[in-house]
C-alpha cells in the first residue's frame, strides 16, 4: 500500500520537476541572451614584435698565484682584490613580423653604486647614443673606482659599509615605424653586482626578452547569441505547454478525498480540542444505551454541552465517533455507515 502510494506520488511529481527545471533553464537562457549585447569588441593583433637584450662581461685579473689565466668569464664568484678591471658589452635586437619602415634606437647605460636604504651614487657608463639598427656597445666597469668610493665613505662616516650593491642598467628607447603605426615602448635591463666581504657575485640573468603587439579594436557579433535565444524561447514555450498539460491531466484524474476524511478534516478545524483518536472503541455493555446521531456536528455540539471528549477510530473506509456520558450508561455514536444503516434517532441497548 505504502509502496504504491510512493510510486503514485513519484509518477506525478517527477515529471513536474523535470518540466519545471526545463522552464527555469529556458527562462535563464532568455534572460542572458536579452541582457547580453549583440556585439562585442575584440583586439586583433596587427604587428607582433620583440625586444631582446643581453649582457656579457669579462673579468681581467691582476697577476696572482691562484689562477693560471688573467681572464675569467661570467658565472663565477670573484675575489675583489684580484680584479684589475671588468669589461662589459650590451647587445640589443629588435625583431618584428612586419616590415619596418624606419628604425631609431636611443640608448644609454649607467651604474648605481651604494648600500641599500643608506646611500647611492650614479655613474654614466655609456652616454645617450643613437643607433639605426641592432647594436652592441662595449664599456668598462670601473670597479677600482667603486672600491675607492666605498673606502672614502667608510672613513668619512665611520660606519661600516655592509653588502654594497652595484646595479648596471641599460635603457633603450625605440622609435620604430610600421605599416600599422609607431612603436615606442622602452626597454630596460639590469645586472646586479653584490659585494659580499672580499668577493664579488654577479647576477645570472644576462638575457632578457620583452614581447609586444600593436592591436586594433573591432566590433564583431556575439557568436551563437541568436541561436541560443531561439532555443531558449522554444524551450520556454514547450515547458509552459507541458506544465499546462500536466496540470490538466492531474485535474482530470485527481480523486477527491473520501467524504469521511473530509468530514474529519472539517471537524478538526473547528473542534480539534474535543477530538481524541483511539486505536479501537470500547465495546458496548449490555446495560449501556447507544444513541445514533444524525450528523457529526450534532455529536460535537452534544459533546460541548456535556463537556465530554469525542473518541473516534477508523472503521473500514469511514470513522466511528462516540461520546460517553459521565456515568457510562449512554453512548452517543455517529458514523457514515451507521447513519446509512440505522434509522435516524434510533436507540437500542447493546449491539
Question: Using one digit for the tens of pLDDT, what is the confidence trace for 214-253?
Answer: 998 888 887 887 888 888 888 888 888 888 887 887 776 6
Q: What percent of the chain has pLDDT over 70?
A: 90
Nearest to 113 by CA among 125, 101, 104: 125
Between β-strands 39-61 and 71-72, what pairing exists: parallel, antiparallel or unpaired? antiparallel
Give the mean pLDDT of 158-183: 89
Give the mean pLDDT of 189-208: 90
How far apart CA 23 and CA 217 sit, in angstroms, is 38
pLDDT digits (tens, 9 = 90+) for 194-203: 888 788 899 9
Please tell me which residue, 276 or 7, carries the higher pLDDT value. 276
**Window from 2-6, 107-111, 195-199, 310-314 with minimum mean pLDDT:** 2-6
- Give residue 116's pLDDT: 73
Terminal-residue alpha carbon distance, the chain: 33
Give the mean pLDDT of 160-179: 90
Q: What percent of the chain has pLDDT over 90?
A: 36
pLDDT band at 7 (very low <50, low <70, confident <90, very high): low
The residue length of the chain stands at 351
- Give residue 189's pLDDT: 97
pLDDT digits (tens, 9 = 90+) for 100-152: 989 999 999 999 988 877 788 899 999 999 999 999 999 999 887 887 887 88
- Give residue 8's pLDDT: 58
- Give residue 1's pLDDT: 44
255: which 3 cell numbers? 480523486
| CB-CB neighbours of 107 under 10 Å | 21
Residue 169, pLDDT above cutoff 90:
yes
User: Distances from the Cα of 183 to the Cαs of 38, 95, 103, 109, in angstroms?
Assistant: 33, 12, 10, 21
Please tell me which residue, 183 or 39, carries the higher pLDDT value. 183
In the chain, where the domains are located? 2-38+222-253, 45-220, 259-349
- Give residue 76's pLDDT: 87
- Give residue 344's pLDDT: 42
- Give residue 343's pLDDT: 43
- Give residue 347's pLDDT: 45
pLDDT digits (tens, 9 = 90+) for 46-89: 999 999 999 999 999 989 889 888 899 998 889 988 888 899 99
How far apart CA 51 and CA 212 sit, in angstroms, is 8
- Give residue 41's pLDDT: 81
Amino acid at each position: 500500500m505504502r509502496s504504491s502510494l510512493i510510486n503514485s506520488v513519484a509518477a506525478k511529481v517527477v515529471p513536474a520537476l523535470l518540466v519545471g527545471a526545463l522552464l527555469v533553464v529556458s527562462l535563464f537562457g532568455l534572460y542572458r541572451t536579452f541582457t547580453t549585447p549583440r556585439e562585442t569588441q575584440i583586439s586583433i593583433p596587427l604587428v607582433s614584435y620583440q625586444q631582446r637584450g643581453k649582457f656579457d662581461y669579462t673579468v681581467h685579473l691582476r697577476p696572482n698565484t691562484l689562477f693560471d689565466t688573467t681572464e675569467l668569464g661570467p658565472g663565477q664568484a670573484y675575489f675583489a682584490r684580484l680584479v684589475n678591471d671588468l669589461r662589459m658589452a650590451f647587445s640589443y635586437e629588435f625583431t618584428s613580423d612586419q616590415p619596418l619602415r624606419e628604425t631609431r634606437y636611443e640608448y644609454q647605460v649607467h651604474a648605481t653604486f651604494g648600500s641599500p636604504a643608506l646611500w647611492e651614487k650614479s655613474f654614466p657608463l655609456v652616454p645617450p647614443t643613437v643607433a639605426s639598427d641592432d647594436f652592441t656597445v662595449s664599456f668598462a666597469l670601473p670597479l677600482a673606482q667603486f672600491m675607492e668610493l666605498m673606502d672614502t665613505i667608510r672613513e668619512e662616516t665611520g660606519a661600516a659599509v655592509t653588502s654594497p650593491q652595484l646595479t648596471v642598467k641599460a635603457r633603450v628607447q625605440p622609435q620604430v615605424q610600421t605599416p600599422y603605426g609607431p612603436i615606442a615602448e622602452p626597454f630596460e635591463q639590469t645586472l646586479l653586482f653584490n659585494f659580499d666581504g672580499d668577493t664579488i657575485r654577479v647576477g645570472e640573468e644576462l638575457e632578457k626578452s620583452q614581447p609586444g603587439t600593436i592591436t586594433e579594436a573591432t566590433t564583431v557579433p556575439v557568436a551563437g547569441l541568436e541561436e541560443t535565444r531561439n532555443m531558449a524561447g522554444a524551450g520556454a514555450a514547450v515547458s509552459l505547454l507541458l506544465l499546462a498539460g500536466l496540470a490538466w491531466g492531474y485535474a482530470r484524474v485527481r480523486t477527491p478525498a473520501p467524504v469521511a476524511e473530509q468530514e474529519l478534516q472539517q471537524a478538526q478545524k473547528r473542534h480539534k480540542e474535543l477530538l481524541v483518536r483511539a486505536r479501537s472503541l470500547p465495546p458496548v455493555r449490555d446495560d449501556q444505551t447507544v444513541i445514533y446521531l444524525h450528523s457529526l456536528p450534532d455529536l460535537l455540539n452534544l459533546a460541548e454541552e456535556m463537556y465530554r471528549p469525542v473518541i473516534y477510530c477508523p472503521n473500514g473506509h469511514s470513522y466511528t465517533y462516540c461520546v460517553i456520558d459521565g456515568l457510562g450508561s449512554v453512548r452517543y455514536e455517529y458514523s457514515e455507515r451507521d447513519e446509512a444503516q440505522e434509522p435516524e434517532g434510533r436507540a437500542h441497548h447493546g449491539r
